[in-house]
Structure 1
Amino acid sequence: MYARRTWLLRLSVCLNVVVLLYACSYLATSRNGVDFVEETVSGRSLAALDTAQLPVSSAADATSRPPPNEPQPPLSAMASSGAGPSNATRKPNSGATVDPPASNPEHVTEREKTLSEVIKCYDRTSEPRMAQRGDFWVLYNYVRADRTFHCWESITYTTHADYTFLDNLKPLLERWRGPVSLSVHAPGTDFKPTLEAIRWARDCLSPLVAEYVTFHVFFSSRHIPKELPRSADASAKGLSDCNKPAPWVNVSAASLYKTRSRILYPVNVGRNAARESATTHYVLPSDIELYPSPGVIPDFLEMIRRQDKPLLRPNPKVFPLSIFELEKGATLPENKEQLVKMLKNGTAIPFHKKLCPGCHNVPKSKEWLAANITKGLHVFHIGKRIGYHVHWEPIFIGTHQDPLYDERLSWEGKSDKMPQGYALCVLDYEFQILDNAFLVHKPGIKVLKKDPQRAMFAAKTNALIKKVIFPELKVLYGVRKGCAV
């Protein structure tokens, strides 16, 4: 009996020693329940180390495959120019060409991101449709551009006009070289010459028109044209006699149906219809007589792809372009260096300097002109619409998430961008001003002229904003110190 107890005691001691040795061994490789893995000398992250340990095909899949149950973005390489599809991309509804997977696992994990990975967006439809917009009918995508783009491949210049302004498309497109979404106001009998002007512009003005411009047509429900050709008929090519003058030549504003019927120009209906129809994530809502500096699209998209530090800030953001007027007959500047020379010799001035200097006075404008000119695009300064710039009316590259324009306001009544500006301010938007991009107005410096009728419309608009629109904005967006309409 005594021998048995002694044997059991010895066995218990041995078992305890084994358990203790096992525990010590575990603690040597673990702390607080978390296993440790020593990082490699190269300094790569643990995630990269795990991916590098996979087979080559698996490593490529780990970086390119979307999470389960989530929609997969378009598979395509970044466009070579940033302005349109490259040979490695596809057009929507066509066969896709996919880049082969990288054979080097380390290259896959450390490569630079492509635009399709940085810009999280989905392709939008450009199918023709007809819909009401308040008191207006809009023929969306009535005449479509021949070329299509993925949502991340370019920037859409969104604008508005009547048909007498379509001559601006040629200089605009020669500098922009990207998609344009254009709303054309065509009430009553203005519709027929508008359709002729669109066809003539596509057939005769420049091949860039048919390639890049999508036309939308809109008019009030009280001024519907007598006939409306279907969209497919409207977009037919080869119907124009290019030996004849353009339909807008020698057409005065006084002869338009709009003028004779005393219709106020619904500027914000045109702006919103064009912007909402853009198929790209980034948009530049502007006026058709404002021409951008060449190369904005590829330079801006490269900046977005790089994800410079200002772009990583949490606030919502837009990217204003400085605007200038040119002397009549002046040659359009090709770059900032030429623009600065024109400003020094007086053939260019800041936009609306003689009409409303505070409306387009960009923050740090003097420093912008004096700054060293660098290659590409970068954020020069982050401004706010407060203080001296409380009534600033910036034109900027933004997205579909930005507030729209109030469609109760007209061009004749002025202040048509002020409610949107207030919304941007209250939402604490950052205005990330671009260093080397700018807009120039069609040559011809504007001077202040007395217009009693427009002054009357402006007074009515100010009353509408003060008594109706501003109280609505305070309910919808709230208030923020320093923000004003």
Structure 2
Amino acid sequence: GSSVFETKYNCTLPPPWVNASTYKSQKKLLYPVNVGRNVAREMASTFYILASDIELYPSPGVIGDFLEMIRRQDAPLRHKNPKVFPLSIFELEANMNLPNDKTELVAMLKNGTAIPFHKKVCPGCHNVPRSKEWLRANSTQAGLRVFHIGKRTGYFVHWEPIYIGTHSDPLYDERLSWEGKSDKMTQGYALCVLDYEFQILDNAFLVHKPGIKTLKKDPARAIAAGRTNSLIRKTIFPEMKILYGSRKGCAV
């Protein structure tokens, strides 16, 4: 055991993983983000699923509070429409500690150390209905409740929420990649056409790994995004209209 402390290390050397070449980069593969989402969902043994990204951290206690809300069966939960439960998402400045609750989150938003997710990249993609009211809503009351029931229409027609759902919800299209963007848009369209309610939770949220994202030029990703948009427009969207039909106000 003591030999560990006696070994000398050269701390001026760069980390060994900095210049590592991955199989993905060697073969010029795209990251199949929706394959990962679907595998995770289908392997989950619970009735409710939070199909989140690995760099998004849920607010503490959200699982227990959510299940207690389900047990109570408040009025919105008894609606006949299919429903999912979106969590508002936020970004933090680098080196900031994660907020322990909504009160701390609101304070960080006020002092500028936190911002709404993708505010500087794609604000419309994660703009949540009644987001300003959500911030002002009571954050001292224990537990969770449905704050507002939103729809993916109008100003929120391109909303890409991350939510707690069930195995009954449509899966993600595995032809879409992370590099091509719009990877959750087609699933959002399906939820809209199926008349899902987006039951926004009052005291639950997600926080991205610290570090504010900014819009950067990425020619390779722009090409992938162009190909994805063409694939959605020419192939996937016509298929979805056959599978799910259409509804006024719904769009990819």
Q: Does 1:343 align with 2:109?
A: yes
CA distance in 1, matches of 2:52, 2:145: 21
Q: Does 1:364 align with 2:101?
A: no
> Equivalent residue for 1:426?
193
Deviation per CA, 1:224-265: give whole Å up to 9, x if none: xxxxxxxxxxxxxxxxxxx9xxxxx74248611111110111
Aligned residues: 239
Aligned Cα root-mean-square deviation (Å): 1.4
Query: What amino acid is aligned across from residue 192 of structure 2 in structure 1?
Result: C
Given that residues 253 and 259 in structure 1 are in contact (C-alpha distance below 8 angstroms), is that contact kept between their aligned partners in structure 2?
no
Q: Does 1:303 align with 2:69?
A: yes
Query: What amino acid is aligned across from residue 71 of structure 2 in structure 1?
Result: R
The correspondence for 2:215, drawn from 429, 436, 448, is: 448
CA distance in 2, matches of 1:449, 1:340: 28
CA distance in 2, matches of 1:411, 1:324: 19
Query: What amino acid is aligned across from residue 426 of structure 1 in structure 2?
Result: V
Given that residues 403 and 420 in structure 1 are in contact (C-alpha distance below 8 angstroms), is that contact kept between their aligned partners in structure 2?
yes
Q: Map of 1:2-81 to 2, 5 A cutoff?
A: none
The correspondence for 1:266, drawn from 25, 29, 32, is: 32
Deviation per CA, 1:456-479: give whole Å up to 9, x if none: 000000000000000000000000
> Equivalent residue for 1:399?
166
Deviation per CA, 1:78-111: give whole Å up to 9, x if none: xxxxxxxxxxxxxxxxxxxxxxxxxxxxxxxxxx
Q: Map of 1:398-417 to 2, 5 A cutoff?
A: 398-417=165-184
SS of match in other structure, 1:255: coil
> Equivalent residue for 2:91?
325
Given that residues 254 and 260 in structure 1 are in contact (C-alpha distance below 8 angstroms), is that contact kept between their aligned partners in structure 2?
no
> Equivalent residue for 2:242?
475
Given that residues 291 and 439 in structure 1 are in contact (C-alpha distance below 8 angstroms), is that contact kept between their aligned partners in structure 2?
yes
Shift of 1:286: 0.8
Q: Larger relative contact order (C-alpha < 8 A, sep ≥ 6)?
A: 2
Greater alpha carbon shift after TM alignment, 253-262 vs 360-369: 253-262
Q: Map of 1:75-474 to 2, 5 A cutoff?
A: 250-252=16-18, 255-373=21-139, 374-474=141-241
TM-score by length of 1: 0.48
Shift of 1:269: 0.7
Deviation per CA, 1:327-380: give whole Å up to 9, x if none: 000010000000000000000000000000000000000000011222100000
CA distance in 1, matches of 2:213, 2:63: 28
Gaps of 5+ in 1: 1-242, 244-248
Identity of counterpart residues, as a percentage?
76
CA distance in 2, matches of 1:464, 1:300: 37
CA distance in 2, matches of 1:368, 1:326: 18
Q: 1:405 to 1:336 in 2, by over 3 A?
A: same
SS of match in other structure, 1:428: coil
CA distance in 2, matches of 1:401, 1:382: 19
SS of match in other structure, 1:391: coil
Query: What amino acid is aligned across from residue 316 of structure 1 in structure 2?
Result: P
Deviation per CA, 1:387-411: give whole Å up to 9, x if none: 0000000000000000000001111
Deviation per CA, 1:107-154: give whole Å up to 9, x if none: xxxxxxxxxxxxxxxxxxxxxxxxxxxxxxxxxxxxxxxxxxxxxxxx
SS of match in other structure, 1:445: coil
SS of match in other structure, 2:90: strand
Deviation per CA, 1:145-167: give whole Å up to 9, x if none: xxxxxxxxxxxxxxxxxxxxxxx
Query: What amino acid is aligned across from residue 468 of structure 1 in structure 2?
Result: T
Deviation per CA, 1:256-277: give whole Å up to 9, x if none: 1111110111111111011100
Query: What amino acid is aligned across from residue 132 of structure 2 in structure 1?
Result: K
TM-score by length of 2: 0.93
SS of match in other structure, 2:183: coil
CA distance in 1, matches of 2:206, 2:16: 27
Gaps of 5+ in 2: 1-6, 8-14
SS of match in other structure, 2:149: strand
